[in-house]
């Protein structure tokens, strides 16, 4: 084995060993960030200038809701709605930690009341109502607050007769609210049915990761479904499937590319092209009836 081969093999091994669920906050506050995919050492500033996409290999880092809003909306146009809706603890849920403690920690970490930010803003001049999920808040899980805010922003769009866009990043329904969380799937989907009746455009943008109750409700019933490059998207988690069928899954299983191949998505978009693509679609659907 030549020295070059040795380096190549090592690189491949490291590549194979990279975690499937990279945590966003591993990097926060550091001046230098290591790419999860190619291991390149990147100055944080440079990464931010590249919309948190590795300039060397194109790996899309997970980003939070605030960053997403900055990237997507025309400067100063996003107006947040329903920001005061906050979680309670209807079931007095306690596992290894109380739900209330988990809420407080998540709030301290994200400065958000819950796992979604909703509001109205402009994308290249096109006005939309938008729900942007934040994976850093309890894994982007959907409980009563997420369901209420998503439903409310859809109802606001119905009033204003404007399109709705969701940007999802979620592990699924929030277990700490049990059946109440499950019902948010029905509630949000019923609201989307009203968008259909009103013939208002509804677009889903799926980002890494989008799973479970969000995939099985408002997250995937858009008129157009866009996935961000490299996103993992599914109904059941990888581990659950492996345990059920007792076999190893292909490495690209549940990636956006894999789903696209199976006809589940309209398109995959790079983060750098997302805003223009979205605006183009919005403009194509805006005509006087």
Partner 1 sequence: MKLDFEKPITKIEEKIEELKKMSEESGMDLSKEIAVFEQQSQEYKKELYENLKPVQKLQIARHPNRPNFLDYINLITTDFVEMHGDREGTDDRAIIGGVARIDDTPVMIVGTVKGKSTKENLEYNFGMPQPEGYRKALRLFEHANRFGLPIVTLIDTPGAYPGIKAEEHGQGIAIAVNLKEMAKLEVPVIAVITGEGCSGGALGLAVANKVLVLEHAYYTVISPEGCASILWRDASKASEAAEALKITGPDLLKNNIIDGIVKEPLGGAHYDYEAMGEELKKEILKSLKEFKNFTPQQLKDDRYNKFRRMGVFNS
By the 10 Å C-beta count (0-12 exposed, 13-18 middle, 19+ buried), 31 is classed as exposed
Q: Which stretch binds partner 1 (CB under 8 A): 32-40, 116-124, 217-225, 278-286?
A: 217-225
Q: Does 135 participate in binding partner 1 (rule CB under 8 A)?
A: no
Between the alpha carbon of residue 159 and those of residues 200, 201, 207, 209, 278, the distances in Å are 11, 14, 28, 31, 22
Find the shortest distance in angstroms from Cβ 101 to partner 1: 13
Alpha-carbon 249 to chain mean position:
23
240 counts as binding partner 1 under rule CB under 8 A: yes
Distance CA 34, CA 39 (A): 5
Q: For partner 1, which is the closer residue by CB, 121 or 143?
A: 143
Asked whether position 145 contacts partner 1 by CB under 8 A, the answer is yes
The bridge status of strand 202-210 relative to strand 126-133 is unpaired
Residues in binding contact with partner 1, number by CB under 8 A: 64
Give the binding range for partner 1 (CB under 8 A) out of 50-58, 128-136, 161-169, 189-197: 189-197
Q: Is the dihedral of CA 137, 138, 139, 143 positive or negative?
A: negative
DSSP assignment letter at 36? T
Which CA distances in Å does 241 have to 26, 46, 70, 222, 245?
Answer: 27, 38, 36, 26, 6
268: enclosing H helix or E strand: strand 267-269
For the purposes of burial, counting CB atoms within 10 Å of the CB of 79, is it exposed (0-12), middle (13-18) or buried (19 or more)? Answer: exposed
Is 209 one of the binding residues for partner 1 (CB under 8 A)? no
| 228 sits near partner 1 (criterion: CB under 8 A) | no
Is 217 among the residues that bind partner 1 (CB under 8 A)? yes
Of residues 123 and 145, the one with the C-beta less far from partner 1: 145
Of 34, 100, 107, 194, the one binding partner 1 by CB under 8 A: 194
Which range, of 28-36, 61-69, 72-80, 251-259, touches partner 1 by CB under 8 A?
Answer: 251-259
Start-to-end C-alpha separation, the chain: 69
Based on the shown chain and the rule CB under 8 A, indicate whether residue 213 belongs to the binding site for partner 1.
Answer: yes
CB atoms within 10 A of CB 163: 23
**Nearest approach, Cβ of 46 to partner 1 (angstroms)?**
36
Does the protein bind partner 1 through residue 218 (CB under 8 A)? yes
Closer to partner 1 at the Cβ: 124 or 253?
253
Q: Please identify which residue in the block is written with the tokens 């998540």.
A: 106
**Binding of partner 1 by 20 (CB under 8 A):** no
193 is an interface residue for partner 1 by CB under 8 A = yes
Residue with tokens 């943008």: 205
Q: Are 201 and 166 in contact (CB under 8 A)?
A: no
Residue 88 binds to partner 1 (criterion: CB under 8 A): yes
3-class DSSP assignment, residue 205: strand
Cβ of residue 148: shortest distance to partner 1, in angstroms?
A: 5
Among 181, 229, 255, 269, binds partner 1 (CB under 8 A): 181
Q: Interface residues with partner 1 (CB under 8 A)?
A: 82, 84-88, 90-91, 93-96, 143-145, 147-148, 151, 173-175, 177-187, 189-194, 196-197, 212-213, 215-221, 234-237, 240-241, 244-245, 249, 253-254, 258, 262-264
């Amino acid at each position: 084995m030549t020295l070059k081969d040795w380096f190549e093999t090592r690189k491949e091994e490291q590549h194979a060993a990279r975690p499937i669920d990279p945590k966003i906050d591993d990097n926060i506050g550091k001046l230098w960030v290591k790419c999860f995919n190619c291991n390149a050492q990147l100055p944080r500033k440079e990464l931010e200038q590249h919309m948190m996409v590795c300039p060397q290999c194109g790996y899309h880092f997970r980003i939070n809701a605030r960053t997403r809003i900055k990237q997507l909306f025309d400067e100063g146009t996003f107006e947040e709605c329903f920001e005061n809706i906050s979680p309670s603890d209807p079931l007095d849920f306690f596992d290894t930690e109380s739900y209330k403690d988990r809420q407080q920690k998540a709030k301290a970490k994200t400065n958000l009341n819950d796992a979604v930010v909703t509001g109205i803003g402009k994308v290249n001049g096109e006005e939309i109502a938008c729900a942007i999920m934040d994976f850093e808040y309890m894994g982007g899980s959907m409980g009563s607050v997420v369901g209420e805010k998503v439903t409310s922003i859809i109802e606001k769009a119905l009033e204003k007769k404007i399109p709705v866009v969701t940007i999802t990043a979620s592990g699924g329904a929030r277990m700490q609210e049990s059946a109440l969380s499950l019902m948010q799937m029905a509630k949000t989907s019923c609201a989307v049915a009203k968008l259909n009746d009103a013939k208002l455009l509804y677009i889903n943008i799926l980002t890494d990761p989008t799973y479970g109750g969000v995939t099985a409700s408002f997250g995937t019933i858009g008129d157009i479904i866009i996935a961000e490059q490299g996103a993992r998207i599914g109904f059941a988690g990888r581990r659950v499937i492996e345990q059920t069928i007792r076999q190893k899954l292909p490495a690209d299983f549940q990636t956006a590319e894999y789903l696209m191949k199976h006809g589940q998505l309209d398109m995959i978009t790079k983060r750098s092209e997302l805003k223009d693509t979205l605006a183009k679609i919005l403009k194509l659907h805006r005509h006087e009836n």
